[in-house]
């Protein structure tokens, strides 16, 4: 009987640790891996970062210039079950890797903003952005104008000439902003 009581105590502790880990990963902080060179020189391919998730949990709009993790599947709605299935422990247990759907980008536009790309430079609401973080000036192409709709944001990579971002995939629904890169490395 004493052995069974000891085993039960350990199982209870492991269960609490598992539930706590899920809670922290879904609502507080979660690790992500940068995949590719779209955020060079700020972040590098395969670099691990930690995102604070309480902004996503509370539905807050990140600040201009924040590095955000987004779900690139903008053509579908997200549910709470997505957050659970995408938790690293659950993904490991089910054998599913969803890493390739998460993009790490910089927030350029909030709901209601007008983003213009002219002569390789980015303007927000008519103001030229000071972007010391970009790798190099964008290759000059045709001028582009984006009007960010309500409940969406506009994101771009720091390596503008090598980034799949809002210019290609469209506006990002706020519920697809999974987290903001935290102060942790």
Q: Could you tell me which residue, 82 or 177, shows the higher pLDDT?
A: 177
Grade residue 3 by pLDDT with cuts at 50, 70 and 90: confident
pLDDT band at 184 (very low <50, low <70, confident <90, very high): very low
- For residue 185, the model assigns a pLDDT of 44
Q: Residue 165 belongs to what domain range?
A: 2-181
Q: Which of 84, 86, 80, 71 is nearest to 174 (CA)?
A: 71
pLDDT for res 80: 82
13 included as an active-site residue: no
Which candidate, 111, 114, 167, places its Cα nearest to that of 138? 167
Minimum mean pLDDT among 92-96, 122-126, 135-139: which range? Answer: 92-96
d(CA 23, CA 107): 26
State residue 97's pLDDT score.
Answer: 60
pLDDT digits (tens, 9 = 90+) for 160-176: 999 999 999 999 999 89
123, 124, 126, 127 alpha-carbon torsion, rounded to 10°: -70
Active-site residue, from 53, 55, 72, 105: 105
Q: What is the pLDDT of residues 87-123, one digit of tens each?
A: 777 777 776 665 578 899 999 999 999 999 999 999 9
Q: Domain total for the chain? A: 1
CATH code assigned at 33: 2.10.109.10
Is residue 55 annotated as part of the catalytic site, yes or no? no
Calculate mean pLDDT across residues 131-144. Answer: 90
42-83 residue pLDDT tens: 999 999 888 888 776 677 789 999 999 999 888 888 888 887
Look at residue 22 in the predicted model and tell me its pLDDT. 82
């Amino acid at each position: 009987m004493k052995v069974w009581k000891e085993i039960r105590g350990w199982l209870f502790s492991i269960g609490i640790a598992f539930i706590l880990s899920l809670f922290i990963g879904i609502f507080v902080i979660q690790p992500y891996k940068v995949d590719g060179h779209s955020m060079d020189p700020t972040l590098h391919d395969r670099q691990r970062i930690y995102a604070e998730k309480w902004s996503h949990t509370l539905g807050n709009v990140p600040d201009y210039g924040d590095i955000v993790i987004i779900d690139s599947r903008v053509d579908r709605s997200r549910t709470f079950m997505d957050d659970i299935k995408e938790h690293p422990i659950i993904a490991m247990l089910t054998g599913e890797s969803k890493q390739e759907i998460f993009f790490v980008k910089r927030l350029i536009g909030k709901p209601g903003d007008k983003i213009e790309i002219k002569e390789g430079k980015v303007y927000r609401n008519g103001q030229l952005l000071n972007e010391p973080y970009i790798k190099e000036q964008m290759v000059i192409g045709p001028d582009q104008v984006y009007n960010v709709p309500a409940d969406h944001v506009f994101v771009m990579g720091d390596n503008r000439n090598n980034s799949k971002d809002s210019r290609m995939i469209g506006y990002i629904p706020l519920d697809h902003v999974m987290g903001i890169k935290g102060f942790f490395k």
